[in-house]
């Protein structure tokens, strides 16, 4: 047996090489025990073996250590039987080895009992941990079911949000189309309003010119009629004077004068008729003027109606624009809404099964 100073790093390196060579747990523990005893002169114990190998349960290194000592005892007996030495030396050597073996076995049994007690305690602890882990697993499974239900609800909410988003997009598209239609209609109404306004202005100018011309004609006819009346009055006055003078001057010429008076009266009647015609024309002009005023009021009413319709169209266009902005904001909010991922914490129990 080599009496080398134990080097923990070298021991760990040798144990790593043995771990690569031997996969069976008991065999690996026996080889590590032989490594410690024969190479480094260290008496192997179950605790030391488990610290180096850390494989299987706590009873595994104790069982491997018992097997190692039994193998060592058997091999030692064979070597003593075959050795060429006196019987007394063989007896003393056998007794010495027997005492060493009994002490080693006693120590090993004590270690085995101690580690079995530790193993039982650790088994109880492991069972308690397993029960806690089982309970935690059940809690985690309940949380998992709840999370799955939440995921399903989130999927449904996401699908509903997608449908709402599609509906909002469709409403936004309709609103934009309606807005374009309202803009086009507004432009057409404005064009029609400008055209009717220009037409109304032209008609009003023509009507004002016609009214001015009618008033001028009426004033001229009135002046002419007044002149004719004044002329007729002058003629009547002159005729009366002539009649009076004729009656005083020559009664014989009375008939002629009466005839002349009748003629003058006929002329006067004719003038009165002409005056009546002029007055009728004046009344017709006044009626045309009233009709022009009524037409102007009607066109002003149509203009006011067009202005009201334009204001309504502008209000409807403003409401459509606000609705489009609202739909755009709702669409951006629906697209920006995050879906929180559900994170599940799972406790994993790592253990190396005994091979």
Domain ranges in the chain? 8-125, 177-336
Q: Is the pLDDT of residue 32 over 90?
A: yes
Mean pLDDT of 171-198: 86
Tens digits of residue pLDDT in 242-296 = 868 867 877 887 787 688 878 888 888 888 898 888 888 888 878 877 887 887 7
HSE-up (13 A, CA, CB side) for residue 144: 9
Report pLDDT for 258.
Answer: 83
Report pLDDT for 62.
Answer: 92
Report pLDDT for 85.
Answer: 59
Q: pLDDT tier at 349 (50, 70, 90 boundaries)? A: very low
Q: Is the pLDDT of residue 31 over 90?
A: yes
Report pLDDT for 91.
Answer: 64
CA–CA gap between residue 298 and residue 341 (Å, rounded) = 70
Q: How does DSSP classify residue 196?
A: H
Report pLDDT for 30.
Answer: 93
C-alpha distances out from residue 229 to 73, 220, 265, 274, 316, Å: 175, 14, 13, 11, 66
CA–CA gap between residue 135 and residue 275 (Å, rounded) = 125
Q: pLDDT tier at 110 (50, 70, 90 boundaries)? A: confident
Q: pLDDT tier at 353 (50, 70, 90 boundaries)? A: very low
Decide which of 114 and 219 is more confident. 219
Please name the residues in contact with 202: beta carbons below 8 A apart, sequence gap of 6 or more: none
Decide which of 26 and 244 is more confident. 26
- Of 151, 186, 173, the C-alpha closest to 316 is 186
Report pLDDT for 130.
Answer: 72
CA–CA gap between residue 355 and residue 352 (Å, rounded) = 9
Decide which of 263 and 175 is more confident. 263
Q: Is the pLDDT of residue 314 over 90?
A: no
Q: Is the pLDDT of residue 199 over 50?
A: yes
Report pLDDT for 108.
Answer: 59
Q: pLDDT tier at 2 (50, 70, 90 boundaries)? A: very low
Report pLDDT for 275.
Answer: 81
Mean pLDDT of the chain: 79
Report pLDDT for 105.
Answer: 61
Residue with tokens 């049994």: 109
């Amino acid at each position: 047996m080599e009496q080398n100073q134990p080097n923990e790093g070298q021991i760990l390196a040798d144990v790593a090489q043995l771990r690569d060579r031997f996969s069976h747990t008991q065999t690996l523990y026996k080889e590590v025990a032989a490594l410690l005893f024969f190479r480094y002169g260290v008496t192997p114990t179950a605790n030391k073996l488990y610290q180096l190998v850390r494989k299987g349960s706590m009873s595994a290194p104790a069982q491997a250590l018992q097997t190692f000592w039994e193998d060592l005892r058997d091999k030692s007996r064979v070597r003593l039987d075959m050795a060429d030495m006196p019987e007394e030396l063989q007896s003393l050597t056998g007794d010495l080895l027997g005492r060493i073996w009994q002490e080693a076995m006693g120590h090993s049994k004590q270690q085995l009992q101690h580690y079995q007690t530790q193993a039982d305690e650790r088994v109880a602890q492991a069972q308690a941990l397993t029960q806690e882990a089982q309970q935690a697993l059940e809690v985690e499974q309940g949380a998992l079911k709840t999370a799955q239900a939440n995921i399903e609800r989130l999927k449904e909410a996401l699908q509903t949000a997608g449908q709402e988003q599609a509906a909002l997009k469709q409403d936004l598209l309709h609103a934009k189309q309606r807005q374009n239609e309202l803009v086009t209609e507004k432009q057409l109404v404005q064009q029609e309003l400008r055209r009717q306004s220009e037409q109304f202005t032209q008609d009003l100018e023509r009507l004002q010119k016609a009214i001015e011309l009618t008033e001028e004609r009426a004033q001229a006819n009135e002046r002419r009629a007044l002149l004719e009346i004044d002329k007729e009055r002058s003629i009547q006055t002159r005729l009366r004077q002539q009649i009076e003078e004729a009656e005083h001057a020559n009664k014989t010429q009375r008939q002629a004068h009466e005839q002349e008076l009748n003629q003058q009266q006929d002329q006067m009647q004719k003038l009165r008729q002409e005056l009546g015609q002029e007055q009728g024309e004046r009344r017709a002009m006044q009626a045309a003027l009233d009709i022009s005023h009524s037409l102007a009021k009607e066109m002003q009413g149509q203009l006011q109606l067009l202005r009201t319709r334009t204001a309504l169209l502008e209000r409807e266009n403003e409401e459509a624009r606000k609705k489009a902005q609202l739909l755009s904001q709702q669409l951006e909010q629906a697209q920006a809404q995050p879906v929180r991922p559900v994170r599940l914490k799972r406790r994993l129990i790592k253990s190396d099964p005994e091979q």
